[in-house]
Chain A
Amino acid sequence: MDSNNLFYILLALAFFGAPLAAMLNNKPKISAAVAFGASAMASLVGLIIGADVLLNGPMRLDFPFSSPFGTFAFAVDGLSALFIIIISLVTFAVSIYSLGYVRHYYGKYPVGLMGSLFNIFYVSMIMVVSSSNAIMFLIMWETMSLSSYFLVIFESREKGTVGSGLFYLIMTHIGTAAITIGFILMYSESGSFEFSSFHGAALGMSDLLRSSVFALWLVGFGTKAGIIPFHTWLPMAHPAAPSNISSLMSAVMVKMAIYMLIRCYFGFLGVQDAWWGVVVLAVACISALLGVMYALIESDIKRMLAFSTVENIGIILMALGVAMIFQSYGLKELAALALIAALMHVLSHALFKSLLFMGAGSVLYAAHTRNMEKLGGLAKRMPYTSLMFFIGVLSIAAIPPLTGFVSEWLIFQSMLQSFNIPDAIVKILIPVALGTLAITGALAAAAFLKAYGITFLARPRSEGAERAEEVPGTMLVGMGILSALCILAGVLSFMILPVMDEVTSPLIGVSIGEHLISGFLIVPTVGEFSQMSPLLIGVLLASVFVGVLALTHLYGGRRKVVRAGTWDCGTPLTSRTEYSGRGFSNPINRMFSWVYHPLRVFRSTSHISPYVKSDMRYTSTIEPVFERYFYEPTEAGVRWLARKVSVIQTGSIQTYLGYIFVVLILLLIVLR
């Protein structure tokens, strides 16, 4: 069966699944099974389509009708296929996870509608990456934004959810406006909305026009991706959304923007100016660093993951920026390496971030809170969730041989090649970015150490955490698939990277597949610069572990286990004596106080003597810099303008007719 037929099957599954689930809304169990069953099957079909295209070359599915904007068709090439595979992998795991996760919505919220929107959301993402026409793309993009908006406000009776959703809606539409203007500018040059006509159209454009298109797309897609300063919707919308949805949004939906940036910059515009790459790199560095810093001090586990998404998008864009810089200097092999690194990190982040969000969802499901300061002790109560969350944490902290390590190592390697660049200033800038990436990695490790340690270890800090139980099997299976993939994608990366090379070579114009992989080794550049093999590291680590275990068993003598209470100086140890999340991140909070602008308030009351406190309170908040200095002034400006403009809204019909009348007369005179 060829991919065209499979594509029809995929669409059919989702288009039957969605309305059927909505119709069965009153029977939540059946409805959830139908909806997530359909999406799981559709995503399996998606996987086959992606694999088929990667193996057998691009496919194209034409519609039997045309529109005023050219022909609409689904066109899947290597890049699309890679993203289809990523979307489908995550959706498959999330679908299975959702079967269990939606149980706690039964009777409270319309599960059938969620399942229905879930299918629409999945299909819209598939269509976004397979659109062949700018207008068709925009329709799909909008479908994706709207369906995700409705999913974000699913728990509409929770406080703040609808507001967060609205903010997301506004931000995403500002982004879409910028994207649309970019496409219209391209259309003015190429004379068609077909993506195929955009290729090379940029050659005829003036520098100013080309750079405006570049900037518009950076803002437009950057808003969706969550680059700073357009990141504020992520920490609002991700926690508000149900966890299975935030998992999809954070792991996959924001990547649609990365997909389009690669397609637009390398495909349509053709990178010519080095400063474009420098701009992308700068934005990326700021996003990565600030993203992880905000993640570190956050104690809401889902908000923390959302900030971490901002950080990882920053890392991906760093690689993309470096690729653009290399490409502009004609260093195609290095550009290909950097772009492969970016795509590898897209895959890595999709795997571990969806895993972590599902883990956070499981915690929420079991302990009914997202606040780390109220959790703790879950490792004993939820051992499997804990293990799988830990794999995600290791992966995001770039511990070898997991997938996060491979992609970040490749990004480092590509940036280390910056000495090949002829321009001295750019040559200096990239090592600065390298330093940023290094500190980002360190802080990310700290942030996830905190997230895991405070949430899962020690003793429970609240009733909810005390009574937590392991989540249902389907949720564990969903997470298990992704944890296995996190390990496999790292260890077997020597099999994945050639595929990435196949995807990037048409965009860059050169293939580095021959020397990138030799046996189990990854060799980024020709010569004796560096090489690494995650498989061998994995084997080494495992054999050391097994060896040590065997040796201790053989020569360690008999083990004696004695259980006794910890010495507590006479004060009983409770959860209040535990290290808190805020305490953990406080040193960094102080170190970077020029970033956080923290506001600490310490209050205590004492009755008898100043040494005996009856009540002590400590609050520490950070200044929301972007909200205060960027969004609030902007909002005030818009409101001011609206008030000024509202003068013409008099409310009288005669005035409105008068406007039309006067404009008509003026037009008649001017255009006579």
Chain B
Amino acid sequence: MLNSLSLDAINTLAAIILLTDFMLVASSRMRSLTRIFAIQSLALGALAAVVAFETGAEHIYIVAVLSIVLKAVIIPRFIDYATTKIQVKREVEPLVKIPGSLLICAAITLLAYFVTEPLMQQGTAITSNCLAISFASVLIGMFLMVSRRKAITEIIGLLVVENGVFFAAISTTYSMPMIVELGVFFDVLVGVIIMGLFAFRINRTFDSIDTSILRGLKD
């Protein structure tokens, strides 16, 4: 099995990921959202690197580097650029208030542990925490998308979901084949760009990126 140092490192990084999830829910400013997301991606990349070191699978190093470059640098920069372009500073009035959101996210985390517990009996993941946290990450990302109004926060929510899926893949199966990973990275990048462009469009058409205005589009 793993040596204790690596195990500690992985656990710590997983904790950081969970912590950043909560910070994302708690923050109400656009710029801090992107910062926190960058930190989360950095932690994830580091975690991938540790896993790569442990398993000796070289391609995970590449995945780790790509993850850091793409998700901790390029995408946050792009989103920052987009927010300054559209001039959104605050996530005004989330649909669920921040204390409530935090409580819900706590419940989600508990649920994630509850749901993954039978899976942990098989003992395939690196640590029992990793799978639960990745689940929690996916669900919290979805919750972000559900509870926030601005198009940019929706994008961040989706990226958090993606990070959760990536984390799950890394921690249970020591990452997917290289080609799949590359495909996923490419998808995410293109997805973010497209969604960013959509945010521009929504802004131009409705003078706001409040997606609840899109309600008027239904027949």
A interface with B by C-beta (< 8 Å): 649-654, 657-658, 660-661, 664-665, 668-669, 672
B142 is contacted by which of A650, A653, A661, A672 (Cβ under 8 Å)? Answer: A661
- Per-residue A-contact encoding for B98-123, CB less than 8 Å = 1, 0 else: 00000000001001001100100000
Between-chain CB contacts (< 8 Å), 24 pairs: A650-B218, A651-B214, A651-B218, A652-B214, A653-B154, A653-B212, A654-B95, A654-B145, A654-B212, A657-B142, A657-B145, A657-B146, A658-B146, A660-B142, A661-B143, A664-B139, A664-B142, A665-B108, A665-B111, A668-B115, A669-B111, A669-B115, A672-B115, A672-B118
Q: Is B149 an interface residue (CB 8 A)?
A: yes
- The reply on B217 being an interface residue by CB < 8 A is yes
Bound-complex Cα distance A630 to B95 (A): 47
A668 touching B111, Cβ below 8 Å = yes
Contact between A651 and B115, CB atoms less than 8 A apart: no
Verify A653–B214 contact, CB threshold 8 A.
yes
Q: Which residue of the partner chain A has the closest CB to B213? A: A652
Q: How many angstroms between the C-alpha atoms of A661 and B96 in the bound complex?
A: 15
A654 to B93, CA, bound (A): 14
Q: Is there contact, CB below 8 Å, between B146 and A654?
A: yes
Binding site for A on B (CB under 8 A): 95, 108, 111, 114-115, 118, 139, 142-143, 145-149, 154, 211-212, 214-218
How far is the CB of B24 from the nearest CB of chain A, in Å? 16
B119 nearest in chain A by CB position: A672
Q: Is the interface of B mostly helix, strand, loop or mixed?
A: helix
Which of A649, A651, A660, A669 is within 8 Å of B216, CB to CB?
A651
Known: A653-B154, A653-B212. 15 other contacts (CB 8 A): A650-B215, A652-B212, A652-B215, A654-B146, A654-B147, A654-B148, A654-B149, A654-B211, A661-B139, A661-B146, A665-B139, A668-B111, A668-B115, A669-B114, A672-B115
Q: B93 CB to closest chain A CB, in angstroms? A: 13
Chain A: CB-nearest residue to B112 = A668
Report Cα–Cα, A665/B147, bound state, in Å: 15
Residues from chain B with a CB closer than 8 A to the CB of A652 are 211-212, 214-215
Q: B119: shortest Cβ distance to chain A, in Å?
A: 9
- The A interface, classified by DSSP as helix, strand, loop or mixed, is helix
Residues in A neighbouring B215, C-beta threshold 8 A: 650-652
B211 touches A653 (CB 8 A): yes
Which residues of chain B have C-beta atoms less than 8 A from A654's C-beta?
Answer: 95, 145-149, 211-212
Name the distance in Å between B137's Cβ and chain A's nearest Cβ: 14
Q: Which residue of A lies closest to B154 (CB)?
A: A653
Could you tell me the distance between the alpha carbons of A463 and B26 in the complex, rounded to whole angstroms?
83
**Closest B residue by C-beta to A656:** B146
B157 CB to nearest chain A CB (Å): 8
Chain B residues closer than 8 Å to A658, beta-carbon distance = 146
Q: How far is it, in angstroms, between the C-alpha of A98 and the C-alpha of B87 when the chains are bound?
A: 66
Instruction: Select from chain A the residue with minimum beta-carbon distance to B149.
Output: A654
In the assembled complex, which residues on chain B have CB atoms less than 8 Å from the CB atom of A665?
A: 108, 111, 139
B112 shortest CB reach to chain A, Å: 8
Nearest chain B residue, comparing its CB with the CB of A668: B115
In whole angstroms, what is the CA distance A399 to B62 when docked?
86
Indicate if the CB atoms of A651 and B217 lie closer than 8 Å.
Answer: yes
Instruction: Identify the closest chain A residue to B117 (Cβ).
Output: A672
Closest to A655 in B: B146
* List of B residues within 8 angstroms of A653 by Cβ: 154, 211-212, 214
| Chain A nearest CB, measured from B88 CB (Å) | 17
**Cα distance A130–B149 when bound, in Å?**
56
Distance to closest chain B CB from A626 (angstroms):
31
In the complex, what distance in Å separates the CA atom of A661 from the CA atom of B140? Answer: 10
Hey, which chain B residues are within 8 Å of A672, CB to CB? Answer: 114-115, 118
- Complex Cα distance, B215 from A653, in Å, reads 8
Min CB distance, B79 to chain A, in Å? 18
Chain B neighbourhood of A669, CB < 8 A: 111, 114-115
A656 shortest CB reach to chain B, Å: 9
Closest chain A residue to B95, Cβ basis: A654
CB distance from A668 to the nearest CB of B (A): 5
In the assembled complex, how far is the CB of residue A649 from the closest CB belonging to chain B, in whole angstroms?
6
In the complex the two chains form, what is the Cα distance from A66 to B146 in whole Å? 43
With CB as the reference atom, state the residue of chain B lying closest to A671: B115
Q: Which residues from chain B contact A657 at a C-beta distance below 8 Å?
A: 142, 145-146
> Which 5 A-B residue pairings sit nearest by Cβ, starting from the closest?
A651-B218, A651-B215, A658-B146, A657-B146, A668-B115
With CB as the reference atom, state the residue of chain A lying closest to B145. A657
* Residues in chain A near residue B146, CB distance under 8 A: 654, 657-658, 661
Nearest CB of B to A25, in Å = 35
CB distance from B206 to the nearest CB of A (A): 13
